[in-house]
């Protein structure tokens, strides 16, 4: 009888342990399922909020561009916008692509250098302590022939890489594509990307002038071979209080009279292409929309879109 009671106790303990294990598993599944559902809902809400931030950024740009004949760093769009509330936050940051150097314009389709933009690129590289030879490789990537410049590379060079690929022999479609070009490794890109673009002019346009109201000092310094640190400081000081309304206004800066005349075909005072970064947080979930948009009147065209 004692043995039977002992056996029954063992069976009872085993059954109890199994029930506890099943209960723990059930509770865990319910928790995981509930958490996943909450995370999914939060992710959807954050995505919608980030897209709304992008739409708001476009509207803000349209209002600005329709009300004045210039754009500057004093404009409302140029200041980061942060909205916070109990359940989350939204941050919108806008930068003008016309403030940067267009990589697609340093060489013509036939491979000939465009002296103006190639010169700006070479001076920008030098100012950033990057090899000027990178301009040759970039020119070969965007021109339409297969004849390499002295420090450049065409398909015959890229075909020997692992994995092999071809030179585009056409304009860059995104700035990230620059990573495929000979010599443009991670360290180079980190230095260069804040100052270059592929979106500042319509496809096929022969020119991509730079907005002197929004260009950073590194780009301003590269605009002309006679540009100096002192002249760039004067330009920045001037535009801080009095944004340039017309390219010819650059001559109003002391010491810029001659240089301003030479730059008239390379500069503008109003941009039309903008990069909008809209980051939304709901609970612990974050979503970021990064897009480039071209603004023309009340019309807007998305040139680049990435959400993650």
Residue 34 confidence (pLDDT) above 60: no
115, two tokens: 């002296």
pLDDT, residue 18, reads 54
74-78, 137-141, 198-202, 232-236: least confident range: 198-202
Query: How many Cα atoms are found within 13 Å in the side-chain-facing hemisphere of 167?
Result: 24
Q: Is the pLDDT of residue 22 over 70?
A: no
Band of the pLDDT at 31, cuts 50, 70, 90?
A: very low
Rounded CA-CA distance 189/175 in Å is: 9
Mean pLDDT over 151-166 rounds to 96
Round the average pLDDT of the chain to a whole number and report it. Answer: 90
Strand arrangement, sheet containing 285-296: 81-85, 88-96, 273-282, 285-296, 299-307
pTM: 0.85
**CA nearest 81: which of 71, 69, 73, 89?**
89
> What pLDDT, in 10s, does the model give residues 189-248?
999 999 999 999 888 788 999 999 999 999 999 999 999 999 999 999 999 999 999 999
Take residue 137 and report the two structure tokens written for it.
Answer: 């490789």
Picking from 58-62, 276-280, 281-285, which range would have the lowest pLDDT averaged per residue?
281-285
- What letters, b where the CB count within 10 A reaches 16 and e where it falls short, cover 183-202? bbeeebeeebeebbbbbbbe
Cβ-based burial of 23 (10 A; exposed 0-12, middle 13-18, buried ≥19):
exposed
């Amino acid at each position: 009888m004692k043995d039977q009671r002992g056996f029954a106790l063992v069976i009872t303990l085993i059954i109890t342990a199994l029930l506890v294990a099943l209960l723990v598993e059930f509770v865990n599944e319910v928790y995981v399922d509930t958490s996943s559902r909450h995370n999914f809902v939060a992710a959807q809400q954050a995505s919608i909020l980030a897209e709304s931030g992008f739409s708001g950024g476009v509207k803000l740009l349209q209002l600005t561009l329709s009300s004045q004949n210039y754009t500057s760093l004093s404009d409302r769009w140029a200041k980061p916008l942060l909205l916070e509330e109990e359940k989350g936050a939204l941050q919108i940051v806008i930068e003008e692509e016309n403030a940067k150097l267009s990589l697609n314009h340093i060489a013509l389709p036939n491979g000939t250098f465009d002296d103006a933009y190639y010169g700006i690129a070479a001076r920008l590289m030098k100012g950033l302590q990057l090899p000027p030879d990178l301009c040759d490789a970039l020119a070969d990537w965007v021109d339409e022939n297969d004849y390499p410049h002295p420090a450049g590379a065409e398909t015959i060079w890229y075909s020997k890489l692992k994995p092999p690929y071809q030179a585009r022999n056409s304009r860059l479609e995104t700035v990230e594509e620059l990573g495929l070009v000979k010599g443009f490794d991670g360290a180079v890109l980190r230095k260069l990307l804040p100052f270059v673009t592929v979106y500042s002019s319509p496809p096929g346009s022969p020119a991509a002038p730079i907005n002197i109201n929004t260009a950073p000092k590194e780009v301003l310094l590269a605009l002309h071979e006679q540009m100096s640190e002192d002249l760039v400081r004067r330009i920045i000081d001037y535009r801080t209080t009095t944004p340039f309304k017309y390219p010819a206004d650059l001559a109003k800066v002391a010491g810029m009279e001659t240089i301003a005349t030479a730059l008239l075909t390379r500069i503008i005072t109003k941009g039309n292409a903008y990069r909008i970064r809209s980051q939304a947080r709901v609970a612990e979930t974050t979503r970021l929309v990064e897009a480039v948009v071209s603004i023309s009147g009340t019309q807007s065209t998305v040139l680049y879109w990435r959400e993650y």
